[in-house]
Structure formats: C-alpha cells, structure tokens
Amino acid sequence: GLLSTVQYTLSQHLVLTAGVHYRYFRSFLREEISDLLGGRFFVEDYSWSLAGVAGRKQIMYPGDIIKVNNHSIINLMNGYARLNYGTKNIQWFISLKGSNNWYKRTDNYNYTDNPSSKTISKPGIDIRSGIGFNTSDNIHSIYVNTAYISKAPYFKYVFGNFTNTPVQNIRNEHFATTEAGYKLNLPGFKMKISGYYTVWDNVSMLTNEYVQLENNELSRAMINGLKSRHEGLELEISYKINDFFSLGALASVADYRWMNDVTAKLINNNVVTDTVNVFVKGVHVGGTAQQKAGIYGRVRFFRLVNLKVEGFYFNNLYADFNPVNRNIAGDHSDSYKFPSYWIINSYLQIPFRLAGYNVMAGINGFNLLDKRYIETGEDGADHTIDTFKGFWSFGRTFNFTVRIYF
C-alpha cells in the first residue's frame, strides 16, 4: 500500500490536512491435501465445479488442490481532506473522502478456459463534520457530530454466488448518523452522556457463508437492500478517590430495528435457484445487547500492583435471523431473545524491571462466576430456544500475559 499526508496551516486557528491512500489486496481460498490418512490417492469428481471434470486429472495426492481454488483481488484508492478550526472554546472540523474499489476474482476450480472475472468498480464517499464548545475553565463541554457514508460492498457480496458472475444491481451501503453529547470534567470526577441516531441502508447479508453445499437441502441466502435504524443513549462516569482507588460506571439503552421487508436469492451449488420474501420489518437487529450496564473499581497496592474488577449486565440481546425462516407474510415476530446475564472480570498487573527493560506481567480472569450464557446464534422457525442454533460462553477462563517494552 501507499499512504501520503500533507498538512498546511492556513491561519492561527485553521489547519488543512489532505492526502491519498492506495492499497492492493490479494488472498486465496483453497483446499489442499496434506494427508491421505492411509489411502493411496483421492478421487476428485469436481461435483461442485461449473465446468465439471473438463479433462482435468482426477487422481490427487498430497499437495494437490481440490474442491475450491480461487483468488480475491482488490485495489483501493482514495483521496481525503480535513479542515480543522480550533480556539480555546470552539473546535470544528469537516472532512471529505472519495474512494474507489476495483474487485476481481479468479477461479481455477469452476473455470478452465478463462479463470478471471471482469473487473467490477464501486466508488464511495465519506463526509463528516462536527463542532464542540468548551467553557473557559474546561469543566463543561458539548459537541455534535454528523456523518454520511456511502460504503462500497465487501468483496463477498460483489461475488456472492461464489462464481465469477457478479451479483446484479448490488448497491453501496449508506450510513447517515448524528450524535450529540455533554461532558463534565471536575477534579476527580468525570461524566459523559451522549445520544445517537443512525440509519443504515442497503445492508447486505450472506448466510451459510463457509458451508460446502453438499446436497440440495442446504442453500445460501443472499440479501441486498435491508434498512435498519439504530438509536440510543449512553452514560459514562468515573470518580478518582485518590491515587490508589477509583470507581466507574457505564450504561446504555438502545433500540435497533430492521425497517423493511426484502427479497433473498437462494444459492445452491453456486447457482441462484429461487427467491424468497423476507419479512423482518420492525424486528430487532440481532447480535448486540441493546441494554447494557457496568461498574468497575481500580485499586493500586504498594504503588506497584494494579487490580481492576469489573461487572457487566447485558439485556435485550436477540438472535440473528435466517432469511429462509422469515417467509411467512405478516409474521414480524422478534427473533429469539437471549436470557439476560451478568459477568465479572478481573485484571491484575505487576510492572517490574528485567535486564534493563520495563516488563508488565498480568493475570486476567474472565467470567469469574462461571456463567453459562448465549453469545451469538441464528434464530429458528418458531423463534424459541428449541429451534435456535448458536454458541454458548466458555465459562470461567484465565490468561497470563507478559509485555516487554523496548
């Protein structure tokens, strides 16, 4: 990649920063035989290949590539500029970034004559601005930020069929967001309260992304055009009692919902086989706890040992939806709602000198109460735990870390 930046002082209070950024990215996805597990060879029947056998060898040995063999190639270029204005009491900025992504895919498994796709170009734009006001004593401050982002889709959505045929009519994702907040900064006590409102449009989604579709009972669902609304309030406070002891707390209340119904394309064996209507208007967005609360305490012993203990409460956490299970008109029931839970973590750090270097040793404990809670997962047909599929927590865990500062 390449990154260049130039900064120019226009006046005592006005500074312009600009530059360009280029990045080249190439990755591959392939399955390689490393061990035949007692067999003499592997028979590749190219059952998932669009080209079939096509005269290619079928007797494979360790080191040969089977079942999947493709490359992702992305070129990204953007130019950006940011104008900052600052005085003792006022800070203001506006920034603009224009970008373009060039996507290309090569696939030696599905294509024998011409494994390269055509190049797909997707531009994007990012506009942000914000202003803050501070009192002369810096005790009180308020701020407002806003942004509009047109974000080019991820590579996996451009070639969502897992072939070199790009998805038709795929559009950029659009974000429009505004946040406002107030900060109180007193000796030993700090508080921040903020609110935000975000609309996320043209959301894409791809299910069963890493599953080999070995039979007709499994399909991927490709969605474009989802729209969601995210709004909420957040509060953070901290109190430093002295050099050895401090306390803090945080809380957030949010409401994240899908705003529209869409149509999904069903993909089987790299081919679009059907479409289904997906009814999710008004359904809560899954994957994020929409009510959170936390407290923490930090203690310093003997001017050397640091101990932090924190507790977090999570509520209103929903499963992600499966498009195939959302095809009943009029059924806008929420996805399965996970049980709320508390977790407690601790962090112990001890700094010392070793061979002339500063060293930090730490012992961290997570989920000390050994709670079994659901972390993430996919909603089932009846939106209950009986048909839910997902991942539960690991329970109580510890790790030990050592950092050496050179």
The DSSP code sequence of 153-193 is: PPHHHHTTTSSSSPPTT---EEEEEEEEEEEEEETTEEEEE
- Give the pLDDT score at 302: 78
HSE-up (13 A, CA, CB side) for residue 356: 1
On the question of pLDDT at 209 being above 80, the answer is no
What pLDDT band is residue 167 in, cutting at 50, 70 and 90?
confident
Give tens-digit pLDDT for 313-343: 999 999 998 887 888 888 899 999 999 999 9
DSSP 259: -
Using an 8 Å Cβ cutoff, are 327 and 277 in contact?
yes
Using an 8 Å Cβ cutoff, are 157 and 167 in contact?
yes
Specify burial of residue 321 (Cβ count, 10 A radius: 0-12, 13-18, 19+).
buried
What pLDDT band is residue 269 in, cutting at 50, 70 and 90?
low
- Give the pLDDT score at 268: 67
Could you give the CA distance from residue 348 to residue 198 in angstroms, rounded to a whole number? 38
Could you give the CA distance from residue 314 to residue 393 in angstroms, rounded to a whole number? 13
- Tokens describing residue 261: 């119904």
On the question of pLDDT at 242 being above 70, the answer is yes
**Greater pLDDT, 37 or 219:** 37
Give tens-digit pLDDT for 358-406: 999 999 999 999 999 999 999 988 899 999 999 999 889 999 999 999 8
